[in-house]
Structure 1
């Protein structure tokens, strides 16, 4: 659990500042579950430059509560939380000083979004909150007011969590929990998990990730692991300390992230199969008469396929789908298991009335809804929330990464897409995952821009 906060102060000498406004958003890693926003009477004058910067003046604070009147609420909303702030050292220091004046030792673990951004977003022109979120396309209102800055920090932190491939943020959280002696049982763990699509991480007591999985229903899948009698999951059950998760909005992002994060984190109970998950593919070929045709063959990583399948039967279903259920497919070869089956009449082209160019153009047109080899391609789909969409970005058939964006904001500018993307290393299996997903799923939108 996180407490994303921002504090406005009076300014002045080091360790003598007073708080003029505070905003705290309690964030469970997926959504804000509680919030506290208040002006604060600092019982001291505000520096003129601060008044000009924030718009908060002495008159506004005369009737505001003093810090001791809101101290209990701050303790409650940040209980069992890691403090997250942009320049956390400053906000945490000011907050602790206020509690010390009351004779109370306030202590929380902290995360700084400046430091995290420098690590996870290394090429940004500036790491000041305003410039950083604007360059990322994150909306910010009421700049230099606690509520606006804290909400922008929360949105930034969500993005950083998605970019944290090595899960250093989550791992540090687990270690923090161990210090406080929290030891949840399996049912307690399951109660914290969502019944939505995403990635889940099973940790041992040292915070290490011992297993990574993906599911359309995280809670259901993890419960299956906890009740499994297989030798591997019996071992996992013995070592499980807690489970963290990341919602992905779509199964496509979950599939892509699972493959990469297993490669990055190398959990000891994940077994990586050397066999191809998609052993069959479709390739475009040209016959001796110059007509294009589709060839279903064993997947060859050296050649660029236009669709990938788990079985020959899956390939047949795809072809009948794109040719609108025709009993005769316009020249298709099935080559697998050391034999070739040509699905067409021998005199198909002899009786064909269109020119070769017209036929070839028509065949290519049927494949446009699945074409990921254009210069710039986005696969738009559902997001993690109702007001959010996801985008998987490719360039000339190469996977660049994914991002999430608010429905109120366009994301067709290349520089904005690049700034928001969480990169995923490209490999042949990723291409096949994407192609197979486009064949099997509906509801997405594939656009070329």
Structure 2
């Protein structure tokens, strides 16, 4: 649990500042579950330049509560939380100073979104909150007011959690979390899980990830893990002490994150999933008569394939479907080995490529359409899918046929600039597994929105 906050102060000498406004959002890693926002009477004058910057003046704070009147609420909302702030050293120091004036020792774990951003989003021209969130397409209103800055920090931190593919933030948070002794451990873990689509991470006592999985219903999938009686499941049930998860909204993004993060983190109980998810591939060649032939064979990393399949049966099913959809020849698709014309020519579903009554040019045009629709080789596209919230969509970036990464954008924020698009993307590695996941998902979800990118 995180307490994401922002504090405005009077300015002045070091450790003599007073708080003029505070905003705290209690964030469970996915959504805000509690909040506290208040002006505070600092019982000392505001520096003129600070008043000009924030718009908060001495008159506005005359009837505001004093710090000791809100201290209990601040303690309550931050208990059990990691304090998160943009330039956390400053905000945390100010809080500790105010509490020390009351004779209270205030201690919390803390995280700084400036430092996290420098690590996870390197080479930004500026890491000031305003310029950073603007470059990432994150809306920011009421700049230099606690509520506006705290809300922007919530959105920034949510972005950074998505960007943290090595899960260092979560691992450190789990490690710092006090151990809770609960009799029915597995039941509690299932009860706390969401019923939404995403990726889940099983941690052992020291925070290390021992298993990564994805599901369209995380709670249901965990219940299956914890009721299974096979050897691996029994070991996981014994070792797991905590479940964290990341909601993706999109099943495609969950598949891509699961694949990427298993390779990065190498959890000991994911060994079977580290193997490639496909073993058949679709290849093309031109025969002596100039016709493009398509052939399915065992996937070979040395050869350039059009697309891949999980198994031979799936490949054969799609080849029959495409033969009918594009009016192609069964012989040139490797589905008919008999002499003479193919069976589809007999029933007038093939135009005669098999007996050269159709020209290679006409036939190849339809084959090329099939290839273009099932391969993004050399293409610049974005794939739009469901987001985590109703006002959000997910995006997958493919440039020059290479998978670049995933991200999210608000429906009110039009992504029409390739540089902004790249800035909101969490980079991921292009590999044959990722390519297979994307192509396989697109084949099965015809209504998926795919948009070509126009580069200037």
TM-score bracket for the superposition, by shorter chain length: over 0.9
2:18 equivalent to 1:18: yes
Aligned equivalent of 2:384: 380
Aligned equivalent of 1:263: 263
Cα drift, residue 72 of structure 1: 1.6
Extract unaligned runs of 5+ from structure 1: none
User: What per-residue deviation string (whole Å, max 9, x for no partner) do you get for residues 256-288 of structure 1?
Assistant: 221221121121222146754222222232222
**Residue 422 of structure 1: which of 417, 422, 426 is its match?**
426
Cα drift, residue 69 of structure 1: 1.5
Are 1:332 and 1:343, in contact at CA under 8 Å, matched by a contact in 2? Answer: no
TM-score by length of structure 2 reads 0.91
2:443 equivalent to 1:439: yes
C-alpha distance 166-347 of structure 1, shift in aligned 2 (>3 A)? closer
Cα drift, residue 424 of structure 1: 1.1
Aligned equivalent of 2:179: 181
2:79 equivalent to 1:79: yes
Aligned equivalent of 1:66: 66
- Aligned counterparts, 1:361-400, within 5 A: 361-400=365-404
Are 2:328 and 2:363, in contact at CA under 8 Å, matched by a contact in 1? Answer: no
Q: What value does the CA root-mean-square deviation take over the aligned residues?
A: 2.3
Are 1:293 and 1:330, in contact at CA under 8 Å, matched by a contact in 2? Answer: no
Tell me the distance in 1 between the aligned counterparts of 2:33 and 2:266: 33
Are 1:298 and 1:335, in contact at CA under 8 Å, matched by a contact in 2? Answer: no
Tell me the distance in 2 between the aligned counterparts of 1:137 and 1:127: 14
Provide the secondary structure at the position in 2 that maps to 1:190. Answer: helix
Cα drift, residue 415 of structure 1: 0.6
Are 1:374 and 1:448, in contact at CA under 8 Å, matched by a contact in 2? Answer: no
Aligned equivalent of 2:413: 409
Cα drift, residue 322 of structure 1: 4.0
Cα drift, residue 359 of structure 1: 2.9
C-alpha distance 335-151 of structure 1, shift in aligned 2 (>3 A)? same
Aligned equivalent of 2:191: 191
Are 2:353 and 2:359, in contact at CA under 8 Å, matched by a contact in 1? Answer: no
- Aligned counterparts, 1:42-441, within 5 A: 42-177=42-177, 180-184=178-182, 185-272=185-272, 276-325=276-325, 329=329, 332-334=332-334, 345=345, 348-349=352-353, 355-441=359-445
Are 1:142 and 1:148, in contact at CA under 8 Å, matched by a contact in 2? Answer: yes
Aligned equivalent of 2:33: 33
Cα drift, residue 328 of structure 1: 6.1
Tell me the distance in 2 between the aligned counterparts of 1:296 and 1:344: 20
Provide the secondary structure at the position in 2 that maps to 1:226. Answer: helix
Extract unaligned runs of 5+ from structure 2: none
Cα drift, residue 65 of structure 1: 1.3
Tell me the distance in 2 between the aligned counterparts of 1:186 and 1:370: 43
Are 2:54 and 2:144, in contact at CA under 8 Å, matched by a contact in 1? Answer: yes
Are 2:195 and 2:219, in contact at CA under 8 Å, matched by a contact in 1? Answer: yes
Provide the secondary structure at the position in 2 that maps to 1:270. Answer: helix
Tell me the distance in 1 between the aligned counterparts of 2:357 and 2:351: 12
Tell me the matched-pair count.
443
Tell me the distance in 2 between the aligned counterparts of 1:315 and 1:32: 45
Tell me the distance in 1 between the aligned counterparts of 2:286 and 2:248: 40
Tell me the distance in 2 between the aligned counterparts of 1:66 and 1:370: 64
Cα drift, residue 355 of structure 1: 4.5
Tell me the distance in 1 between the aligned counterparts of 2:323 and 2:45: 76
Quick check: 390-399 or 266-275, which moved more? Answer: 266-275
Tell me the distance in 1 between the aligned counterparts of 2:236 and 2:354: 63
Provide the secondary structure at the position in 1 that maps to 2:270. Answer: coil
Provide the secondary structure at the position in 2 that maps to 1:84. Answer: strand
C-alpha distance 47-164 of structure 1, shift in aligned 2 (>3 A)? same
Provide the secondary structure at the position in 2 that maps to 1:45. Answer: coil
C-alpha distance 272-124 of structure 1, shift in aligned 2 (>3 A)? farther
Tell me the distance in 2 between the aligned counterparts of 1:212 and 1:342: 48
Cα drift, residue 222 of structure 1: 1.3
Are 1:411 and 1:417, in contact at CA under 8 Å, matched by a contact in 2? Answer: yes
